[in-house]
Amino acid sequence: MPMNGVKGGRYLVHVAITLKGSRDPEGETILKDVVTASGLSGVLKVRSGKYLGFVISAPNAEGAVKAVADLCYRLRIYNPTVHELLMLGVEDEGSGD
């Protein structure tokens, strides 16, 4: 059933949640203990985060992205005080019939 009774297509919305600010302890550890320790150079910083993919019914791709952003904020999928929500992209998944 479409979200909020909306007719339209199905969209896969790609989302990443990362820490705000300059310090990312997990990313720093990956850079130091994995990348640099492997002898690789040229990687200056690693940012870690969480990926989520939402398949949602919406009238169009823009509506799908907005609905997912609203959902993530309203349901506290992330903490806007310490996290940044990055909308990575959207793919058409078809009509959903």
pLDDT digit string (tens) for 23-67? 899 999 999 999 999 999 899 999 999 999 999 999 999 999 999
pLDDT reported for residue 1: 35
User: What token pair was written down for 30?
Assistant: 């990956």
Query: Domains in the chain, start-ordered, CATH in brackets?
Result: 3-21+48-94 (3.30.1280.10)
DSSP H or E segment with residue 77: none
- Positive/negative CA dihedral, 11, 96, 50, 33: negative
Nearest to 57 by CA among 15, 93, 14, 16: 93
Strands lying side by side in the sheet with 83-94? 49-58, 9-19, 83-94
8 pLDDT band (50/70/90 cuts)?
confident
pLDDT reported for residue 22: 76
Is the pLDDT assigned to residue 86 strictly greater than 80? yes
96 pLDDT band (50/70/90 cuts)?
low
Distances (CA, A) of 74 to 16, 22, 79: 16, 26, 10
